[in-house]
Structure 1
Amino acid sequence: MKAIFLDRDGTLGGSDQIEYPGDFSLYPGVQEKLQIVQVEGIKLFSFTNQPGIAKGLATMESFREELYGFGLDGVYVCPHLPVDQCNCRKPMIGMIELACRDHGLLPSECFVIGDRLKDMMAAWQAGCMSILVQTGSGKESLKEWKQLDKRPTINFIAEDIIHALDWLTLGK
């Protein structure tokens, strides 16, 4: 594994709702855990849908500043509304493809960690492995996933982001 794509809201911190920069905070211990993972040579990228940018409720720069401030190696944000039908809004794979091009990676070398089925669908469609966390919308997403006829692969179900990162780095 060379890189991990991290969803923001409900995965790294916050809640199951979008919280704009200035109101958002990481879950306890996450900042330190991210640094430990990076020391092992694993790249960390954000990959987040933020339609509030298109609505004028926040700026791309405010999200980038916040996410880089957490120490991430790359920041990939979809600023579009669902009706825009862009290729970067999860569950589409545009953010994953762009990050892989930017950093010379193959999706098969990457994991996605998120709390929504959209995150798992993007991972599956791109060819990444995935971890569903049970924070944010994770418990509801797990129930929905179990009811699907055609399910995206989920490689691990974690209590939270720290549990997910421990599973990845301390041995499965």
Structure 2
Amino acid sequence: MGNIIDAVFIDRDGTIGGNCSVTYPGEFKLFPFSEEAIQLLKNSNIKIFAFTNQPGISRGESTASQFEAELLGFGFDKAYICPHRSKQKCSCRKPSPELLIRASNEYYVNLSKCVVIGDRWSDMLAGDSAGAKTILVKTGAGMDSLGKDRDKWSNMEPNYIAEDILDAVLWLLVPNK
């Protein structure tokens, strides 16, 4: 990409593992290539933040601390989680950029030097609203985001459309990939 990256924000479900639906901690499985992708970012001294909507927390189906422990165990530096359901009308649920802004304020990262990687239109809009670069992965809901859900984010284009999280990270780190 040619410039320095302050941080990478990565969605959970469908991006690093699982599928289009929520799988709770303890049952969630990473894609085989996700560990390598996370390690490549860590080896490049790039901050790695999870940012995820997890409405099951507000329904009592899991806890934020269970999600945080899992994500930190995968190698993330910090997890930013919206625990609310969409009908709760909170300010932190993606596509709002609030989780990105919180991280920026806490870690003093310049969002214009950050990248959002996710599989949903809401990830792309959150990143775009925050001024970050965006990468849509085709895993999880990625193909739906490019197809039947494209009208939800048609006013913007991701900086890159990747096959998966490893392809996304290699695009970021390997010049002329």
Please indicate, yes or no, whether the TM-score normalized by the shorter chain is above 0.5.
yes
Is the 8 Å Cα contact of residues 18 and 29 (structure 2) preserved in structure 1? Answer: yes
- Partner residue, 1:139: 143
Identify if the C-alpha distance between structure 1 residues 8 and 96 changes in structure 2 by more than 3 Å, giving closer, same or farther: same
C-alpha deviation, 1:153, in angstroms: 2.8
Specify the code of the residue in structure 1 equivalent to 2:24. Y
Match of 2:167 among 163, 168, 171: 163
The 5 Å alignment of 1:71-90 reads: 71-90=75-94
Q: Name the count of aligned residue pairs.
A: 172
CA distance in 2, matches of 1:146, 1:19: 24
The 5 Å alignment of 1:2-21 reads: 2-21=6-25
- Gaps in structure 1 of 5+ consecutive residues: none
Match of 2:62 among 53, 58, 64: 58
Identity across matched positions, percent: 44
CA distance in 1, matches of 2:60, 2:162: 34
CA distance in 1, matches of 2:10, 2:121: 14
CA distance in 1, matches of 2:40, 2:49: 15
Identify if the C-alpha distance between structure 1 residues 56 and 3 changes in structure 2 by more than 3 Å, giving closer, same or farther: same
C-alpha deviation, 1:32, in angstroms: 2.6
- Partner residue, 2:108: 104
- Partner residue, 1:151: 155
CA distance in 2, matches of 1:29, 1:116: 19
Is the 8 Å Cα contact of residues 145 and 151 (structure 1) preserved in structure 2? Answer: no
The 5 Å alignment of 1:25-44 reads: 25-44=29-48
Specify the code of the residue in structure 1 equivalent to 2:111. P
TM-score (norm 2): 0.93
Stretches of 4+ aligned residues off by more than 3 angstroms: 144-150
- Partner residue, 1:70: 74
CA distance in 2, matches of 1:18, 1:119: 15
CA distance in 1, matches of 2:150, 2:98: 26
CA distance in 2, matches of 1:135, 1:47: 17
C-alpha deviation, 1:35, in angstroms: 1.4
Specify the code of the residue in structure 2 equivalent to 1:82. S
Is the 8 Å Cα contact of residues 2 and 41 (structure 1) preserved in structure 2? Answer: no
CA distance in 2, matches of 1:166, 1:136: 19
Is the 8 Å Cα contact of residues 12 and 30 (structure 1) preserved in structure 2? Answer: yes
CA distance in 2, matches of 1:27, 1:156: 20
Report the RMSD for the aligned CA atoms in angstroms. Answer: 1.4
